[in-house]
Amino acid sequence: MRLNGPCLFRIWLYPVLALVVPTPCGGCGDYLGPRQLLGYCSGCWDLIQPDRYDPQHPLQCAATPYAGLAREILLEAKFRGRPELFRPMGLRMAAICRFTGLDRGLDLVAAVPSHPFTLFRRGYNPARELARAVAGDLGLPLAGPALRRKFLHLAPLKKADREGRRLAAESAFVAPRGRFRRRRVLLIDDILTTGSTSRGCRSALLAAGASTVRVLVWGRTQAGAAGGRWPGRPL
């Protein structure tokens, strides 16, 4: 689904207004210059640390740990009506994707789908907005809405045990049989926590014929953190 009216206002008119009315950086409070119209100054963007390498999951990586400013930026973009931030976030994800070699031999980019109710309420899918920026920067096509969340898949109750929530998340996605036949897919999401969501999407994509599914996210939470260090400076 495309961005709705208020989001377009944010993306196109907000930068113009910011030229006329200087706005402070959301991180350090310094006033933004004419080339820093993305809510945060370049110094604050540079403070975002790259994530650690996870040797147990070489086919997935995160641009950054989900903490501090990286967490704040995602919350701004996702819940506080700042979708213009998804593009610079996606560009950082694409940069780390190149550094790690995760982009080699890919055919297309797909996004973890939102539930239809959430999409209706918010007007956009954060994962898809990130995927659009990643796909554009990597020069890959962005998959359509073939991968979807089951409409009548009941969300687990809060009291459901952890294993029940995991199983529910892993069976919540579906894609038409053969739609991703022999495609090597880069799956995009905003947060990686336990990995249940990405596992569910990966299963649906493989069942639809995909030959490889790699996962790239903006932030990895502590629960999903692991392993050592990248063999160099990612960015």
Point out which residues pair with 212 in neighbouring strands. 184
Is residue 48 part of the contact set for Zn ion (CB under 5 A)?
Answer: no
Radius of gyration of the chain (CA): 18
Site string for Zn ion, 173-212 (x = CB under 5 A): ----------------------------------------
In the complex, what is the shortest distance from the CB of residue 38 to Zn ion, in angstroms, rounded to a whole number?
11
Q: Is 28 in the site for Zn ion (CB under 5 A)?
A: yes
Q: Which stretch binds Zn ion (CB under 5 A): 18-26, 109-117, 147-155, 197-205?
A: 18-26
For residue 96, state whether it binds Zn ion (rule: CB under 5 A).
Answer: no
Q: Judged by CB under 5 A, which of 41, 74, 130, 174 binds Zn ion?
A: 41
Question: In the chain, what is the straight-line distance between the N-terminal and C-terminal CA atoms, in Å?
Answer: 31
According to DSSP, the residues that pair with 110 across neighbouring strands are 187
Beta carbon nearer to Zn ion, 21 or 154: 21
Which of 129, 24, 32, 151 shows the shortest CA–CA distance to 83?
Answer: 129
Cβ 12 vs Cβ 54: under 8 Å: no
Residues that bind Zn ion (rule: CB under 5 A) add up to a total of: 5
Query: Distance between alpha carbon 80 and the CA centroid of its chain, in Å?
Result: 16
- CA–CA dist 163, 160 (Å, integer): 8
Residue 35: CB minimum distance to Zn ion, A: 13
3-state secondary structure of 85: helix
Neighbours of 7 (CB within 10 A): 19
Q: For residue 149, how far is the Cα from the chain centroid? A: 16
Closest approach, Cβ 71 to Zn ion, in A, equals 16
19 near Zn ion, rule: CB under 5 A = no
Q: Does 39 bind Zn ion (CB under 5 A)?
A: no
192 in Cβ contact with 215 (< 8 Å): yes
Q: Which member of 18, 44, 102, 213 binds Zn ion (CB under 5 A)?
A: 44
27 touches Zn ion by CB under 5 A: yes
Q: Which of 18, 25, 106, 133 binds Zn ion (CB under 5 A)?
A: 25
